[in-house]
Structure 1
């Protein structure tokens, strides 16, 4: 099918005037006439009749025009959808622990959406393990996690590192010597199977601290809030407690050389998807600046 001839037919059928059709198409009138004659020969029907100086569509011409209008509308729709593939659009789902959501991603999302208004962002707040599971199950397009990612199907892009700090409230610290504090009050930590549990255990062993009792929490924000209620001691990333340490609400018992690594994880087979790639780029740039 020669779409050029059909397009010429459509314009002539819309205008019913060869002069105006020639102006729109940029062809000479003889060229248009030759294309229409060729098309009529191809379809086996006369498509136009002339009465005096007026041009009319024949019944066959009306039928062909109906189909051509639908065909070219579909082609325009296809071209529009193909143009969308050149720019981020549609839904992008990000999973991350609560602290990253509130302190980092809120700023990143604002910058990303201002640059990519056709993208609808969905944010899941969950622990790092669940965030990785969502990515693996394609329930999230990417995740920000604390700790390692050992899934071979995922690409782990490092964002930064932070110290691990054993903390309690200034009030508990003032009322108890260290030995009493460590024995009397529970250790508030992540739930069993946490992504950074091995790192936490290594720090406790280094400090020769074997808690008598534990309180397990799902998120690091919950751990911090529990500590702030004078409940016990906790081992947390320095970024999470930096403000409370400066204000003297929390106090640092010991800071460990071990670091929590923050990473962005993406399924390797999806790295080149437009939405994911564009969001990953802005995350890495803004995270480095913060």
Structure 2
């Protein structure tokens, strides 16, 4: 079987529309039809069937699509591995929260492109829970995440540790004890299964008080910070991102947790030797603190 014919089949199987597939592949429709017919003769199975005006994959077509998807994914890995033998090259997608993107990565990306002009960079804002999924699903190459990460497929190194602070706006804290504040206002939480969940649990265990209600804010630290400033409730945040508000008395600390927040870099172990990933990680280690000084 020719790879060209398999690629044509994959595109047609994705689109289930010959006209769309022809535009994507820049072939004529008779050429596509001929390539599919060649495959069907080689496999001795029909790959597509039509019901009315719609095209569907046959059982054989569904099986072949699974194999072609794996085949071309493997070929992509192979090509990327071969390219990386020449040093940093190709594309590199970094995923991180809004806070990290704004306060660290915007400057780091500029420095990296000066060193490695041949690498095309892409920044993908996402909370830590989504960032982990994007790395595991090969939608991103490097993730910068906060909190615990537990996956045997991921390589991880810690960039920094900071205090986790339970905070409230000064207006809401006025004339109220810590216990009254925690019991009176909702806790602005991240996703239930994110790395911050265990830190929050430990925090409330340390102070022996729990909030009466919870608002899940989708995992964005910047969204939660703004919600606290807007007097929506209380929240657990990293000390670094709110140091100015704490210093000015706009936010009041209710409790400093014993367990710190870890900021870590993650990437797939299977790609840990790639020079593009390694070169960016080395820059992160060298300059992470310098960009905020």
| TM-score calculated relative to the size of structure 2 | 0.68
Contact 2:179 2:209 in 1 (8 A): no
Structure 2 equivalent of residue 128 of structure 1? 128
Structure 2 unmatched runs, 5+:
1-81
State the alpha-carbon separation in 2 of the partners of residues 150 and 224 from structure 1: 26
1:153 aligns with 2:144: no
- Structure 1 stretch 265-274 or stretch 176-185: which is displaced more? 176-185
**Aligned to 1:257, what secondary structure does the other structure show?**
coil
State the alpha-carbon separation in 1 of the partners of residues 138 and 84 from structure 2: 22
Instruction: Note the C-alpha offset of 1:163.
Output: 0.3
**Aligned to 1:254, what secondary structure does the other structure show?**
strand
Structure 2 equivalent of residue 277 of structure 1? 278
Give the alignment of 1:254-269 within 5 angstroms: 254-269=255-270
State the alpha-carbon separation in 1 of the partners of residues 278 and 112 from structure 2: 12
State the alpha-carbon separation in 1 of the partners of residues 89 and 194 from structure 2: 34
**Aligned to 2:283, what secondary structure does the other structure show?**
helix
Contact 2:147 2:194 in 1 (8 A): no
Structure 1 equivalent of residue 203 of structure 2? 203
Give the alignment of 1:27-42 within 5 angstroms: none
1:250 aligns with 2:251: yes
Distance 1:195 1:179, change over 3 A: closer
State the alpha-carbon separation in 1 of the partners of residues 96 and 114 from structure 2: 21
State the alpha-carbon separation in 2 of the partners of residues 186 and 147 from structure 1: 22
**Aligned to 2:95, what secondary structure does the other structure show?**
strand
Structure 2 equivalent of residue 230 of structure 1? 231
Structure 2 equivalent of residue 138 of structure 1? 138
Structure 1 unmatched runs, 5+:
1-81
**Aligned to 1:258, what secondary structure does the other structure show?**
coil
Instruction: Note the C-alpha offset of 1:193.
Output: 1.2
| TM-score calculated relative to the size of structure 1 | 0.68
State the alpha-carbon separation in 2 of the partners of residues 120 and 132 from structure 1: 21
How big is each residue's C-alpha offset from its partner over 1:53-95, in whole Å with a ceiling of 9 and x where there is no partner? xxxxxxxxxxxxxxxxxxxxxxxxxxxxx89852322211011
Please report the RMSD computed on the Cα atoms of aligned residues, expressed in angstroms: 1.7
Structure 2 equivalent of residue 14 of structure 1? none
Instruction: Note the C-alpha offset of 1:179.
Output: 3.0
Instruction: Note the C-alpha offset of 1:232.
Output: 1.4
Structure 1 equivalent of residue 94 of structure 2? 94
State the alpha-carbon separation in 2 of the partners of residues 235 and 84 from structure 1: 41
Which structure has the larger Rg? 1
How big is each residue's C-alpha offset from its partner over 1:199-255, in whole Å with a ceiling of 9 and x where there is no partner? 211111111121111111121111111100011111111112112112221111121
Structure 1 equivalent of residue 107 of structure 2? 107
